[in-house]
Amino acid sequence: MKKKQIVDLVTNLSLLILACVILLFPSFKITDIKLVLGLIFGFYTLFKLTSFILIIKEHDYENLFTSIVSLGCFITIFYLELTTKNIALILLIWLGLMSLVKLKKADFYHDKQNKMWLLRLFILFSFIAINLILCLNLMYEKEIQILIIGFYFLINSLLDTIDPLVSYLMERK
């Protein structure tokens, strides 16, 4: 595996583990939405920025843009009262900006005549559809909201993990 693929895989698996831990929070009666969103966006910012720094020579700016978007959401959660509408708004804004980042990544592959752009487009549309459905289901109690947020980021991490794995498998052929 190339260094970029290893860094992306480790970063995305770390975020996948974080999402799994978030899914366990309601079992331990942790229902502070501000804490959960702060952890998620804080770790997204930290992991993606670290990943970008480690592979800066690859000229792949997806991780930098992801860290900037996540940092913006991280800062925003401390300035807004976290009502259900505001949580959905933050997640939808994150979804919209991340969709633009993923579209830019798909365009990056398309410009180089790489067949990975089809996979990236599939990941983009899956990301949008699944996360929109999850955002619409935030109208329940705090425990359910934390589970939905956990699934939201679990699905994002799973979709992001597909890219380095498929790239590696395509190179092995």
H helix intervals, the chain = 3-24, 33-54, 62-77, 84-111, 116-135, 142-172
pLDDT above 70 (res 15): yes
Query: What is the reported pLDDT for 74?
Result: 95
Instruction: For residue 113, name the pLDDT band (cuts at 50, 70, 90).
Output: low
pLDDT above 80 (res 120): no
pLDDT tens track for 73-96: 999 998 988 888 888 888 889 888
How many angstroms separate the Cα of 123 from the Cα of each of 64, 78, 81, 83, 117? 19, 30, 32, 30, 10
Lowest mean pLDDT among 21-30, 57-66, 111-120, 136-145: 111-120
DSSP class per residue in 19-34: HHHHHHGGGGT---HH
